[in-house]
């Protein structure tokens, strides 16, 4: 950036600022703004919090509605119904392989086709992660993607302890 300062024969000081660098900087900033605004809208996952909160009172009303819960663990995925406590286990084929998302999709589609969930779109998902067996973020997103593909549009992320139905291990 430069400026030309000089005095002519009348004694006036004339300053000419070079504004090209300012224009370059503004065009770069506008480009980053537009790219990030588009990316934020494309890469968004709409989730609603589900389950019980920690601040909720100990006395809860008995709900007649059946809730479908998905619990993701490092070595398996559980799908449980709240009314009867029945759970379907989908183990990993091997410890180094990914979860069997095709089997998860088929099992979830069977639950969706059952009488309790035909007209419903709600589902709660939780990941139970420990230091010795951490759950990857990719697995949670894959489970949400499968749930959306099957027809559960109202997918909520919950705390593992707050799931309506959990496997009895």
* Average pLDDT, rounded, for the chain: 80
The stretch 78-90 carries a mean pLDDT of 86
How many percent of the chain have pLDDT more than 90?
12
163 within 8 A of 51, measured Cβ to Cβ: yes
CA 138 from centroid of its chain's CA atoms: 10
Higher pLDDT, 50 or 23: 23
pTM of this structure: 0.64
């Amino acid at each position: 950036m430069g400026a030309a300062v000089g005095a002519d024969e009348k004694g006036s000081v004339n300053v000419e600022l070079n504004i090209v660098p300012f224009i370059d900087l503004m065009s770069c900033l506008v480009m980053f703004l537009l790219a990030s605004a588009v990316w934020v809208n494309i890469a968004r996952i709409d989730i609603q919090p589900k389950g019980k909160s920690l601040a909720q009172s100990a006395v809860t009303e008995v709900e007649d509605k059946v809730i479908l819960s998905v619990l993701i663990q490092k070595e398996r995925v559980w799908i449980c119904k709240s009314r009867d406590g029945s759970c379907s286990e989908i183990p990993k084929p091997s410890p180094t392989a990914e979860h069997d998302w095709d089997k998860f999709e088929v099992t979830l589609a069977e639950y969706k086709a059952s009488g309790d969930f035909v007209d419903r779109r709600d589902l709660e998902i939780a990941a139970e992660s420990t230091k010795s067996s951490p759950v990857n973020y990719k697995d949670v997103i894959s489970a949400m993607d499968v749930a959306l593909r099957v027809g559960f549009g109202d997918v909520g992320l919950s705390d593992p302890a707050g799931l309506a139905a959990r496997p009895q291990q």
